[in-house]
Structure 1
């Protein structure tokens, strides 16, 4: 991929990259906590038009469709989209999956009631063009829910050490603070209504099993130490012209 100076991701994740993660205790518990937080921020999705940006294998998109939403899912990886489409077919849920980039969404202005984006910015140096696109396709009064990797956590320390010892993946990673995410949303014209953290336990399956149940309690208290950050923002409603 292109250099990370632009809005394009310089890393494309494929289904095989996640196979070990999804099969592990740590991955199963962590994904469940993250997804529960994001879905809780969306609320009741029934009859909503929802875009899932960076949908991966389609877990969140299919969950939303099962709850009555009309869902489109996009990802830069054709293999991810093939897997998501296969899962939708097997589950009997209707989701429109397609290959596209977050910085160049193939949808008209004001197309969606909700835009969901999970970990699409961790390999993007400049997220502002992406936030602009997410805001563009939201209807006035629509909701943006975004989940990203938090900067102040034990998980980041581990990833930084791996980068120092040669991990090509994490040498290219970007981690955000709550203030940075709020700033990106505000510059895109959005009003931030909520920022929450998740994943406060160390990077181990045992820690996830023992401490995972405490995560919602920690999330209500602070974002410090959270490996995952979730932000909810609203697009201002349309203003009527004064005659």
Structure 2
């Protein structure tokens, strides 16, 4: 069995758990609010995994490409795309060398991708390269200063290969990566103001939009929106 098959199964189990379902819902809300209207836009979902964000973008009437380096995860994504009855393209490739022309996309999404790549600077520069002038990038990452990140670090220390190699980010880190790629930061937001607990998630979920709007401290999930400078007229 491929080593990543258990990972695809764990994604599915997480999504169907009460905590996973609530967490995914509040994270998606923030990401797609920051992405803006997607109808008719060309969207690239980098590190698509089993297709969660690519499928949601397709539901927003975008022309979507989901890219991942893992063929097992792409197989899981194809199954989910078929079940969701949406149209999108899935491609195998690496975030460090995106197999697309310059300016190929209007919007690029990358959610919990930078935590697993060896060179985040190169990845963000690649995402900036494939953006059309005036296009938007949305990054979503786990806040390094959170109980969630601490829990995952502990899992890494206890033997999880995935979390042992993960790197978590702060808002200052994400802003720096965007600026190094010559992108202009538009907005930063947080979500997931609850600890990794079913009870806390159910209680806090109704307050999430307000806490995000007020930029309350303590968010476990950080999202950044940036844009590529438009060409002069």
TM-score range with shorter-chain normalisation?
over 0.9
CA contact (8 A) 2:5 2:73 kept: no
Unaligned runs of 5+ in 1: 1-10
2:169 to 157, 166, 176: 176
Q: Which has the higher helix share?
A: 2
Q: Which residue of 1 aligns with 2:75?
A: 82
Task: Name 2:22's counterpart in structure 1.
Answer: 29
* Deviation at residue 88 of structure 1 after TM alignment: 2.4
Q: What's the counterpart of residue 201 of structure 2? A: 208
Matched residue SS, 2:116: coil
What is the TM-score with the length of structure 1 in the denominator? 0.89
> Which string of whole-angstrom CA distances, capped at 9 and with x for unpartnered residues, describes residues 49-73 of structure 1?
1111111221221222122111111
1:223 CA drift (Å): 6.0
RMSD of aligned C-alpha atoms? 1.8
TM-score, with normalisation over the residues of structure 2?
Answer: 0.92
Cα distance in 2 for residues equivalent to 1:224 and 1:123: 25
Q: Aligned runs of 1:51-66 on 2, under 5 Å?
A: 51-66=44-59
Tell me if the contact between 1:163 and 1:169 (Cα under 8 Å) persists in the aligned partners. yes
Residue 102 of structure 2: aligned partner: 109
How far apart, CA to CA, are the structure 1 residues paired with 2:148 and 2:174?
18
Alignment of 1:98-137 (within 5 A): 98-137=91-130
Shift in Å, 1:41: 0.8
In structure 1, the partner of 2:37 is 44
Cα distance, 1:12 vs structure 2 = 9.6
Q: Deviations over 1:201-242 (max 9, x none)?
A: 1111111111122222222233632111100000000135xx
**1:156-205, Cα deviation, whole Å (9 max, x unpaired):** 22223333333333221111010110000000000000010111111111
